[in-house]
Structure 1
Amino acid sequence: MKTIVLVGATSGLGRQAAAQLAAAGHRLVLIGRDERRAGRLAAALPSASVIAADVATLAGVDHVAKEVASAVDHVDVLVNNAGVMTPTRQITAEGIEFNLAVHHLAPYSMTSRLLPLLHRGVGRVVNVNSEGHRAPMRGRGPIQVNPADLNADRDFDPFLTYSRTKLANLLFSYELQRRHPELIVVALHPGMVRTDLGRRFPRVQVALLSAFLLSARQGARPLVHLATAADVVAGGYYNRFTLTSSSAASYDMATARQLWEATVQLRGSF
């Protein structure tokens, strides 16, 4: 049995992963933004601890970290699964572009805050990523991260920004593994999964795309596998169950260091 913290657990593949992990007997701390969904999840999985918080802000991350520390004395696995996609540029209360806040800053800050508990446990971090880090779902790449414009102040596009922030998450994942080799850090593309990620886009677009997507239950299976399997490769990128190479840009160590330094300016040292 593992103690697992799952961020982004109240809908989609996170909700399905929570159910599968609970059925396997793992001790769960589940985090979701929506209070009503969090309440329904707590009722459905009474053995789990459920926390309603917005991890897009540092205050939300700090709240989660305190609640986790009061619920468990160690963390074996942290799963950073929260995801967004917005058709227009939106910013958080802290003035951070929403994709950047959820896909990059939240995993950075959550891992940082829970690092002492991870050191007391197995110390595995699973960052849910996307093959979209290679190229946008619409439009053209290549995808690059510009540490000087992380907030997309000058260059926002819903699909490019999503892809860039997923690439930022990969750069962070690899840099985290280099800086903390005592951890087991992996990134996962769970497949093209039918979730409510695109709920802010026109319904016709979402409906046409959904016909070709995996179910949330199918998407959750590789997430559960990476969270619990013994044969996970530290520093690896998985396309569902297969260890594979990510984009060339994701292995750029100079950009990864610049991104880390820029993130420290935004969220403090790790």
Structure 2
Amino acid sequence: MFGLFGTQFAPEKDIPSQEGKVIVVTGGNAGIGKETILQLCKHSPKKVFLATRNEAKAKDAIESINSQLPQPADIVFVPLNLSNLASVAAAADTLNQSTDRIDLLFLNAGIMNLPPGKTDDGFDIQFGTNHIGHFLLTTRLLPLLKQTVTKYNADVRVLSISSMANMAAPSLDTIISEDLWKKGGWTSYASSKAANILFAAELAKRHPEITAMSIHPGLIKTDLYSETFENSYFMRFGMALVGPLVYHDAVYGALTQLWTATADKNKIQQGGFYSPVGKLQKGNSWANNADASKKLWEWTEEKLKEKGF
């Protein structure tokens, strides 16, 4: 059972039955996403779609997850490259054609502190992947999410995985500027994490029949840090020195998104930003910035329209 600084929560005991539910997890082939699928599959969902770039890694993850279950779960790989809008649109089409409901959508995939660069469509690589790709996927799935509400399950949730790095983000004008990619890897990453919070808050406002929230999973040692460690002796040294004291594993990292996905709906604040475990960050400046969330949503829609999406 985990309850550090927040809610007491033990997934195997506290997650209710997921029978009949259809779940989508982006980046579910490793780390927090894989652990999220494993824990939910212990509670008998109808189907899980694992959306990620690498088919071989996805199949390895599915095999690993099923090896830990009493009976194999129905987990299906969906190709998804969030840094390519055509791939995102194709993934949404695949999902729309493969199921008539989605009960839980985890916008879990992400990249962190990469060298300056751009997506295939010309956006800052981290902002474009972590925010714009997920924005397009979600909006393309909105009719299906709403159909689930009216036809199957009034409690449909979208969970956007952010980070406390949002506090290092620059102004919104800088975030949406064409020069963001020149500002450095951490600024780019922090901007994308602020955008994840703004997106969840605005989604909650525009589509209140869907419960939307954003999440900081904690300081988790996952593959996200591989680029940072590879390029920085100081980060490698620092991790060796203090990592065991401050960083958690993926099992812990999945807790807050599992809690916000499955806890009593009355305990969840629509559009809220949560940290471990299930702790609402009431004072987060991005979650409370209605003007910025509206502006980012409209800006993203316009940019996607310009790209033909």
The alignment's TM-score, normalised by the length of structure 1, stands at 0.89
1:45-56 aligned within 5 A:
45=66, 47-56=74-83
1:233 partner amino acid? Q
Change (3 A) 1:255 1:155: farther
Out of 60, 63, 79, which is 1:43 matched to? 63
Deviations 1:90-139 (A, max 9, x none): 2121111111112211221111011111112233110011111113xxxx
Change (3 A) 1:171 1:115: same
**2:110/2:129 contact within 8 Å kept:** yes
Out of 218, 223, 228, which is 2:257 matched to? 223
Q: CA deviation at 1:31?
A: 0.9
Alignment: residue pair count: 264
- Point out where structure 2 has 5 or more consecutive residues left out of the alignment: 1-17, 67-72, 149-154
1:132 partner amino acid? A
What residue number does 2:164 align with? 131
What residue number does 2:48 align with? 28
What residue number does 1:139 align with? none
Deviations 1:203-255 (A, max 9, x none): 44146334331101111122112222223222211112112225324422222
1:110-149 aligned within 5 A:
110-121=137-148, 122-135=155-168, 143-146=170-173, 149=176
Q: CA deviation at 1:83?
A: 1.1
- Asked if residue 235 in structure 1 is aligned to residue 285 in structure 2, the reply is no
Instruction: Measure, in 2, the Cα distance between the counterparts of 1:87 and 1:58.
Output: 19
Change (3 A) 1:68 1:257: same
SS of corresponding position for 1:95:
coil
Greater CA drift, 258-267 or 203-212:
203-212
What residue number does 2:27 align with? 8
**1:144/1:167 contact within 8 Å kept:** no
Q: CA deviation at 1:19?
A: 1.0
**2:101/2:147 contact within 8 Å kept:** yes
Instruction: Measure, in 1, the Cα distance between the counterparts of 2:208 and 2:128.
Output: 25
Deviations 1:10-40 (A, max 9, x none): 1111111111111221221111122221121
Change (3 A) 1:216 1:206: farther
- Point out where structure 1 has 5 or more consecutive residues left out of the alignment: 136-141
**1:61/1:109 contact within 8 Å kept:** yes
Change (3 A) 1:17 1:150: farther
Instruction: Measure, in 1, the Cα distance between the counterparts of 2:35 and 2:25.
Output: 11
Out of 183, 200, 219, which is 1:192 matched to? 219
More helix by share: 2
1:100-119 aligned within 5 A:
100-119=127-146
1:57-72 aligned within 5 A:
57-72=84-99
Instruction: Measure, in 1, the Cα distance between the counterparts of 2:218 and 2:120.
Output: 31
Instruction: Measure, in 2, the Cα distance between the counterparts of 1:65 and 1:148.
Output: 26
Instruction: Measure, in 1, the Cα distance between the counterparts of 2:273 and 2:139.
Output: 21
- Asked if residue 251 in structure 1 is aligned to residue 278 in structure 2, the reply is no
1:220 partner amino acid? A
Task: Look at both structures and tell me which one has the larger radius of gyration over its CA atoms.
Answer: 2
Greater CA drift, 147-156 or 183-192:
147-156
Instruction: Measure, in 1, the Cα distance between the counterparts of 2:114 and 2:61.
Output: 28
Instruction: Measure, in 2, the Cα distance between the counterparts of 1:13 and 1:148.
Output: 26
Change (3 A) 1:73 1:149: closer
